[in-house]
Amino acid sequence: MTDKEAMKLHELIDELRAKLKKSLQELLQARKDLDLEREEHQLTELRYNTLKNAVDKVDRLNQRRPDVEIPADEPVYKKDLK
């Protein structure tokens, strides 16, 4: 193998290393972005569930209560006891 061939192989190896490094950096960045999106999604779900629970609680508090039936033969007020 001549020096010229060795230099070409060395340059080719350097190019391949640079491409590999770039690809790995892109992959790592994509993973970081995905993790960030997952965290944001979890926070959004947590906020949604918190608000939904609060709304459900308010809805339960605002539900119409059943009417109270008072039998006709019982006095309603103390003055009716006379």
Q: What is the pTM of this model?
A: 0.56
Does residue 73 fall inside a structural domain? no
Does residue 17 fall inside a structural domain? yes
Does residue 29 fall inside a structural domain? yes
Q: Is the pLDDT of residue 75 over 70?
A: no
In one letter, which amino acid is 6?
A
Does residue 37 fall inside a structural domain? yes
Q: Closest Cα partner for 22 from 32, 12, 10, 30?
A: 30
Does residue 54 fall inside a structural domain? no
Report d(CA 61, CA 4) in Å as an integer. Answer: 85
- E-assigned strands of 1-82? none
pLDDT digits (tens, 9 = 90+) for 35-62: 999 999 999 999 999 999 998 888 887 7
* Domain enclosing residue 29, as ranges: 1-49
Report d(CA 52, CA 59) in Å as an integer. Answer: 10
Tally of domains in the chain:
1
Does residue 72 fall inside a structural domain? no
